[in-house]
Amino acid sequence: MIDSACADAGRDAASVRLLAVSKRHPVAAIRKLQAQGQLAFGENYVDEALEKQAALADVDIEWHYIGPIQSNKTRDLAAHFQWVQSVDREKILKRLSAQRPDDLPPMNICLQVNVDAEPQKAGAAPADLPGLAELAGGLPGLRLRGLMCIPRATDSITQTRASFARTRECFEALCVAGHELDTLSMGMSGDIAPAIAEGSTMVRVGTALFGPRD
């Protein structure tokens, strides 16, 4: 899946990480995949993730939070995740920074961009990214890694690829501004190929790995 998309795009498959999206999938399925060498897992719901983390405390897993963020959940996110990919506002950045335990390494942060300006969808407007990136870069306990996006749902590969291209342009603009970024989290089970063609470095895959959710 990743290998073929990278080959079509003329990219090295090693340049794209796989994030296994394990929301609503059982602990046994995560444990099985982890035993096969998959270490990065993404969750959308904090309470569900905390239960899984407790059940899987005996194995090495890098936990990513990829769902909408409620202010009353930031303390749990700060204490129990290595990555939060869905940061979209100043308040959340400040809370994650203040609540990150001192004995943990800096939390890896991606800013979620609402690249298609959908009112029902989380994410910062592209125009707000420079300010958020500047803030994130100056807060203790955080390490800004890049951007994440979820493009508009459409059957048009051309439109989906255009959304990914706009996100990549935002990423490149932040790099030009001096931010040392390395992560473009773009692409899910149904749109991996256009995401990789536009520079994704991390794809978030659930159904294609785990099968249908219960």
Q: Is residue 161 part of a domain?
A: yes
Q: Is residue 32 part of a domain?
A: yes
Instruction: For the beta carbon of residue 189, count every other beta carbon within 10 angstroms.
Output: 14
Q: What's the pLDDT tens digit per position in 95-135? A: 999 999 999 999 999 999 999 999 999 999 999 999 999 99
Q: Is residue 214 part of a domain?
A: no
Instruction: For the beta carbon of residue 121, count every other beta carbon within 10 angstroms.
Output: 17
Instruction: For the beta carbon of residue 185, count every other beta carbon within 10 angstroms.
Output: 27
Name which residue leads in pLDDT, 210 or 50. 50
The CATH number given to whatever domain includes residue 18 is: 3.20.20.10
Q: How many domains, in total, are found in the chain? A: 1
Range of the domain at 177: 2-207
173/170 Cα distance (integer angstroms): 5
b/e code 46-84 from CB counts within 10 Å (16+ = b): beebbebbeebeeeebebbbbbebeeebbbbbbebbebb
Q: Is residue 11 part of a domain?
A: yes
pLDDT > 70? residue 142: yes
Average pLDDT for the chain: 95
Q: What's the pLDDT tens digit per position in 77-93? A: 999 999 999 999 999 99
111/74 Cα distance (integer angstroms): 15
Q: Is residue 212 part of a domain?
A: no
- Given its phi and psi angles, is residue 33 left (phi above 0), alpha (psi -120 to 50 degrees) or beta? alpha
Q: Is residue 131 part of a domain?
A: yes
Q: Is residue 37 part of a domain?
A: yes
